[in-house]
Amino acid sequence: METAYFASGCFWGTEYHLMKAPGVIATAVGFMGGHLDHPSYKEVCTKTTGHLETVEVHFDTRLTSYESLVKLFFETHDFSQTDGQGPDIGPQYRSFIFYKNPEQKEMADRYIALLREKGYQVATALQPAGRFWKAEDYHQQYYEHKGSTPYCHTYRKIF
């Protein structure tokens, strides 16, 4: 079992795609990267906490790889957009990969370089993973419980 952390706009849409990936055992939505302990959704929405809406992904390395999740991350959001994602504007919606170890950082760097070689502008930033603060229960698996699909995240094959 390994853990990964991805931020790509609204965490509901990010989680929707990642939780359906083969080999993903569990996901949770929450916050990472800021300075406030135990942030609430309402506090993060003030744009003053430094936190990003983030998805925590637990996956079985016998069934999938970190590389596969990085590809899916890039294929399900607009990684060229700065300060938001689609209609969601603000620093809490930026494109970020929080890496847990040098191998994860190297893989993320490799795919950012590959995208740039393909001519894409990449706004995705990398940062070491810090403390993950789980969001309130009503945010977890939001689209699964709602029975609908995200409006701000769609899949497009790139790799």
The CATH number of residue 32's host domain is 3.30.1060.10
Domain contains 157: no
Mean pLDDT of 66-89: 94
Tell me the mean pLDDT in the region 1-27.
96
3-class state of residue 126 by DSSP: strand
Mean pLDDT, rounded, for 12-30: 96
- For residue 154, is it within any domain? no
**Is 32 domain-assigned?**
yes
Residue numbers annotated as active site: 10
Residue 151 lies in a domain: no
- The domain of 29 spans 2-146
Average pLDDT score over the chain: 96
The tokens of 81 are what?
A: 């957009």
The two structure tokens encoding residue 115:
């995208």
Tokens (6 digits) for 34: 């800021």
The angle at the Cα of 125, spanning 123 to 127, to the nearest 5 degrees, equals: 175
> In the chain, how many domains are there?
1
- Asked, for residue 152, whether it belongs to a domain, the answer is no
Identify the sign of the CA torsion 29, 34, 36, 42.
negative
Binning the chain into helix, strand and coil, the percentages to the nearest 5 are 30, 25, 45
Strand 125-128 to strand 84-85: parallel, antiparallel, or no bridges (unpaired)?
unpaired
Query: pTM, whole model, 2 decimals?
Result: 0.95
Cβ-contact 152, 13 below 8 angstroms: yes
Cβ atoms 1, 23 nearer than 8 A: no
pLDDT of res. 50:
97
- For residue 8, the one-letter residue type is S
Look at residue 134 and tell me if it is in a domain.
yes
Q: Is residue 82 part of a domain?
A: yes
Residue 118 lies in a domain: yes
Which residue matches tokens 């760097």? Answer: 109
Q: Quote the CA–CA distance of 104 and 50 in Å, as a whole number.
A: 23
> What confidence category does residue 87 fall into, taking pLDDT thresholds of 50, 70 and 90?
confident
